[in-house]
Amino acid sequence: MAADGTKSETGTPGDAATGTTDPAPLGSRAPEFVKARRVLHLSWQVGVFVIGLAVVAAGAAMLVLPGPGWVVIFGGMAIWATEFVWAQLVLRWTKRKVTEAAQRALDPKVRRRNIILTTVGLVIVAVVVGVYLWKFGLELPWKIKEQ
């Protein structure tokens, strides 16, 4: 709420404790001449939705096919965010969570733990491969004969 009792255009006032505010106002980023005409604006929204849906669907297909699936999905969300408040909020939440995860990953304790877990995992894989090679040699599993 603004001081005059009207709702803020950004939708959220930000964090008063840290003094941060949302980077951009929520809502349509369509050109003003499009927003001024209801039918044109509705057509614009349908077009943005269809294009965003096509990009998100392509990204979903890339999750099982070769390609950068998640990057494309977030690209589709960014297309939707040019017009729809719900997509803007999802992208802000995602960006905040990714930033928090990156900060946690830079913590020396977390890095040390990740390095130790990776090393232990590689040692286990090396032992399993070594045992396999010792027992069967370079034979492929489907060509191993019963002994």
d(CA 13, CA 20): 9
Q: Look up residue 85 and give its two tokens.
A: 């408040």
Write the pLDDT tens digit of every residue in 57-94: 999 999 999 889 889 999 999 999 888 888 889 889 98
Using the predicted structure, report yes or no on whether residue 23 has a pLDDT greater than 80.
Answer: no
Write the pLDDT tens digit of every residue in 94-145: 889 989 988 888 888 888 998 999 999 999 999 999 998 888 788 777 776 6
Using the predicted structure, report yes or no on whether residue 48 has a pLDDT greater than 80.
Answer: yes
Band (147; pLDDT cuts 50, 70, 90): low
